[in-house]
Amino acid sequence: MGMPIAHLTDRFARPRIIACGIALWSLATTACGVGQNFTQMFVARMSVGVGEAALSPGTYSMLTDLFPKSKLRRAAGFYSLGSFIGLCQLVEVEAEGRQQRASVRKPRTDFG
């Protein structure tokens, strides 16, 4: 999916393609939450993939236009770092949630 979308980003306005991809991604994620059978979930998950595929080609192309060659590696690195930061935050939030659920399940022994 990335190659056809990359071709579109070379021909049309990159910010608009990125915005459409994010909108499709968001709507498809919502559709995943309300899907009631396999077909609906399958179509919604496929749409999530198409929406995600619209982001990287356009973003890297915009970075190439916005930054000089000497600073391009750093800019691309910061962009790529975002997914790892998000993953670390997810792990932290999940760990906190597990601790809270575990404390709810512990039997109370401090009755006075």
pLDDT of residue 106: 59
| DSSP code, position 106 | S
pLDDT of residue 103: 64
Measure the CA angle with vertex 58, ends 54 and 62; round to 5°. Answer: 160
pLDDT in tens, the chain (112 residues): 778 888 888 888 889 999 999 999 999 999 999 999 999 999 999 999 999 988 888 888 899 999 999 999 999 999 999 889 989 888 888 888 777 776 665 555 665 5
pLDDT of residue 3: 82
- Domain residue ranges of the chain, discontinuous segments joined by +: 1-66, 69-106
Rounded Cα gap, residues 28 and 41, in angstroms: 9
Write the DSSP string, 9-49: HHHS-HHHHHHHHHHHHHHHHHHHHH--SHHHHHHHHHHHH
